[in-house]
């Protein structure tokens, strides 16, 4: 069994034995004996039938959430990072799920179920309509995320720019928009759309940097 710990803010170290999953290219160093193999199928599809596994693969490719994954097996210390981005570790409660942008997902323990989740919002942002979902199926599953800068951790209810959102627990957000003629000529104040999380007691993590917006409209 592996345990993740943050190492000097911008890297993560996995300590223990057994196996876990990381994004392709996450390793920067290790001490001990390790073997990493690229997964052609998802981590939860290895034991499924061929048809079910291929359907899962196709779904991830179509939704843009097909993050290349590695299965890392062995024992010792395994260091991971992603372009010196800030690293945070989230420990899930049994049965709890978290939605994570695939570009912000660095690694997760083997007692997490990985899947693609449809969200009915996001049409106006770079996020799109789908996101990666990790569900706890063990006693102390861990998920490692990266952010551009120090993460901002909010307790719901709250609202956030979808282009800055990294992950959230609980129910999916509602989309709110404030689009007027001023938006199209670049004279609006504030955000033209945002995600609203209304269920109390959940967590939303955002980064102090925005992805390029999915909609660009301007008048010269």
Query: 141-193, pLDDT tens digit by residue?
Result: 999 999 999 999 999 999 999 899 999 999 999 888 765 544 544 544 455 67
216 domain residue, yes or no: no
Q: What percent of the chain has pLDDT over 90?
A: 60
218 domain residue, yes or no: no
202 domain residue, yes or no: yes
Which pLDDT does position 179 carry in this prediction? 57
Q: What percent of the chain has pLDDT over 70?
A: 74
Beta strand ranges found along 104-160 (DSSP E) = 105-109, 112-118, 130-136, 142-147, 152-155, 158-160
pLDDT for 58 beyond 80: no
Contact 6, 88 (CB under 8 A): yes
Peptide bond into 157 cis (omega under 30): yes
61 domain residue, yes or no: yes
CATH label of the domain that carries residue 85: 3.60.160.10
Query: 59-81, pLDDT tens digit by residue?
Result: 545 544 467 899 999 999 999 99
Helix/strand/coil percent split, the chain, to 5: 10, 45, 45
Half-sphere exposure of 64 (CA within 13 A, CB side): 9
186 domain residue, yes or no: yes
Which pLDDT does position 219 carry in this prediction? 35
Which pLDDT does position 189 carry in this prediction? 45
Report CA 78 to chain centroid distance, whole Å. Answer: 20
48 domain residue, yes or no: yes
Report how far apart, in Å, the C-alpha atoms of 82 and of each of 10, 21, 144 are.
Answer: 8, 15, 11
Q: Does the pTM of the predicted model rise above 0.85?
A: no
**Residues in contact with 192: Cβ distance below 8 Å, sequence separation at least 6, in sequence order:** 124, 177, 178, 179, 183
Q: What is the mean pLDDT of residues 18-25?
A: 97
219 domain residue, yes or no: no
DSSP H or E segment with residue 3: strand 2-7
39 domain residue, yes or no: yes
Query: 92-129, pLDDT tens digit by residue?
Result: 999 999 999 999 999 999 999 999 888 765 444 555 56
**Residues in contact with 173: Cβ distance below 8 Å, sequence separation at least 6, in sequence order:** 119, 121, 160, 195, 196, 197
Which pLDDT does position 212 carry in this prediction? 73
Give the chain's domain count.
Answer: 1
Quote the domain boundaries for residue 50. 2-206
């Amino acid at each position: 069994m592996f345990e993740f710990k943050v190492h000097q803010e911008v890297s993560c170290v996995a300590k223990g034995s057994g196996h876990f999953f990381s994004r392709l290219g996450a390793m920067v160093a290790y001490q001990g004996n390790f073997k990493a193999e690229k997964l052609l199928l998802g981590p939860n599809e290895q034991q499924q039938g061929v048809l079910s596994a291929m359907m899962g693969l196709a779904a991830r490719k179509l939704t843009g959430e097909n993050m290349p994954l590695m299965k890392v097996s062995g024992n010792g210390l395994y260091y991971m990072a992603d372009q010196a981005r800030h690293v945070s570790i989230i420990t899930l409660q049994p049965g709890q799920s978290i939605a994570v942008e695939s570009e912000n997902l660095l690694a997760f323990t083997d007692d997490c179920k990985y899947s693609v989740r449809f969200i009915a919002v996001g049409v106006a942002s770079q996020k799109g309509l789908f996101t990666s979902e990790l569900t706890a199926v063990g006693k102390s599953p861990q998920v490692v995320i990266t952010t551009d800068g120090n993460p901002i951790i909010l307790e719901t209810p709250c609202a956030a720019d979808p282009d800055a959102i990294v992950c959230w627990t609980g129910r999916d957000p509602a989309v709110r928009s404030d689009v007027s003629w001023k938006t199209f000529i670049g004279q609006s104040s504030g955000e033209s759309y945002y995600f609203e999380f209304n269920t109390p007691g959940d967590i939303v993590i955002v980064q102090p940097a925005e992805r390029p917006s999915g909609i660009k409209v301007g008048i010269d």
